[in-house]
Amino acid sequence: MASMMFTDCSSSTTSLLIHLNRRSSTTLLRQSVGQLRLRTTVSGRACSLSIRSADAASDKVIDGKAVAKTIRDEITVEVSRMKESIGVVPGLAVILVGDRKDSATYVRNKKKACESVGIQSFEVRLAEDSSEEEVMKSVSGFNDDPSVHGILVQLPLPSHMDEQNILNAVSIEKDVDGFHPLNIGRLAMRGREPLFVPCTPKGCIELLHRYNVDIKGKRAVVIGRSNIVGMPAALLLQREDATVTIIHSRTKNPEEITREADIIISAVGQPNMVRGSWIKPGAVLIDVGINPVEDPDAPRGYRLVGDICYEEASKVASAITPVPGGVGPMTIAMLLSNTLTSAKRIHNFQ
């Protein structure tokens, strides 16, 4: 993980102070009736988490992990239908450059996900000090390989590489990440269709659809304007006929804008930035942030929190994605979906 931060969105809560190890917290969870608020001490500072009884909390939760599993099951059926009908197995190639642990984990998870649905996976690993030309050579090899239907260059790339050059080199027909400027350009234009839509924003919209959240005519706010998530998420919401506002680092009084929103998609990478007071009652919240915060009690020494202070926001919102288990698993499910779509298109298989 790139950075470790500690963050606390509990300053206004009156909480029961309990020191827990993992086993005792599990026992407490099982015994909990109604709302139980725990406050644990981490590195001398305070951090709180709320645990509510299953029925009170669970109907608010947008369960990305469960939806992703359903989608993988749907893909499995399609992959085997394709194999049986025309003898073609969809193939995904992943290029990983450098030694980032988080990137290596994501690539490993992508490979596992491919195996689980019957998609063939190909992988190239290049050293941190590889040249841009070496990456280009791998991209070009996969562009020409007929058993590869999707190509993905894991981001971020080492800083000495020109990300734009490399992403531009991926064949638009195999651009399952949807980052090629032609695909993004088509996404932005009315009446044009991209061949692929970026996986994380596509996963956000898929969650809204599968939870029957109305988007048409709603006020949507996207927090963050990255090429990977914020910008394409805003374009997708606009294509769904939402009225969209983008909040970014120079936006003044962001909370006044979010308070008007029926739907918020947050993708800034700032732990717990969006507080309960920023949320309109009944809003639907999609949290893309996956931020590590220090936690000596967690097996990895840190735990993951979103951009949205879950404890506060879940009291105000009508629905919210958790972190982990919300948008993250959808990113990989959408990658599998894009790879299947690509193979079907290339082989003209309906």
Position 200 contacts ligand LMY7XDAE (CB under 6 A): yes
Rounded distance between C-alpha atoms, residue 274 and residue 267, angstroms? 11
Instruction: Give yes or no for residue 154 binding ligand LMY7XDAE (CB under 6 A).
Output: yes
The residue count for binding ligand LMY7XDAE (CB under 6 A) is 18
Q: Using DSSP, state whether 243 is helix, strand or coil.
A: strand
Amino acid making up residue 25: S
Interface map 159-198 toward ligand LMY7XDAE (x if CB under 6 A): ------------------x---------------------
Please confirm, yes or no, whether 35 is among the known catalytic residues: no
Contact 151, 175 (CB under 8 A): yes
Buried b or exposed e, range 111-134, using 16+ CB within 10 angstroms: bebbeebbbbbbebebeeebebeb
Euclidean distance between CA atoms 234 and 170, whole angstroms = 24
Given the residues 177, 287, 295, 307, select the one marked as catalytic: 177
By CB under 6 A, residue 324 contacts ligand LMY7XDAE: yes
Q: Is 154 a catalytic residue?
A: yes
Nearer to ligand LMY7XDAE, 121 or 245 (CB): 121
Q: Which is nearer to ligand LMY7XDAE, 102 or 255 (CB)?
A: 102
**Whether the Cβ atoms of residue 62 and residue 324 lie closer than 8 Å to each other:** no
289 binds ligand LMY7XDAE (CB under 6 A): no
Pinpoint the alpha helices (H) of the chain.
Answer: 22-31, 54-58, 64-86, 101-117, 132-144, 163-169, 181-188, 199-210, 230-239, 254-258, 310-316, 327-346
What are the tokens at 172?
């638009």
Q: Locate 267 and state its tokens.
A: 């993708």
Question: Residue 106, interface with ligand LMY7XDAE (CB under 6 A)?
Answer: yes
120 labelled catalytic: no
Q: Distance between CA 218 and CA 240 in Å, rounded? A: 10
Piece of 15-23, 152-160, 204-212, 265-273 that binds ligand LMY7XDAE (CB under 6 A): 152-160
Contact (Cβ atoms closer than 8 angstroms) between residue 121 and residue 332? no
Single residue of 79, 207, 290, 343 touching ligand LMY7XDAE by CB under 6 A: 290
- Exactly one of 328, 333, 338, 342 binds ligand LMY7XDAE (CB under 6 A); which one? 328
Amino acid at 269: G
Tell me which residues are annotated as active site: 110, 154, 177
For binding to ligand LMY7XDAE (CB under 6 A), which residues are involved? 106, 152-155, 177, 199-200, 228, 290, 304, 323-325, 328-329, 331-332
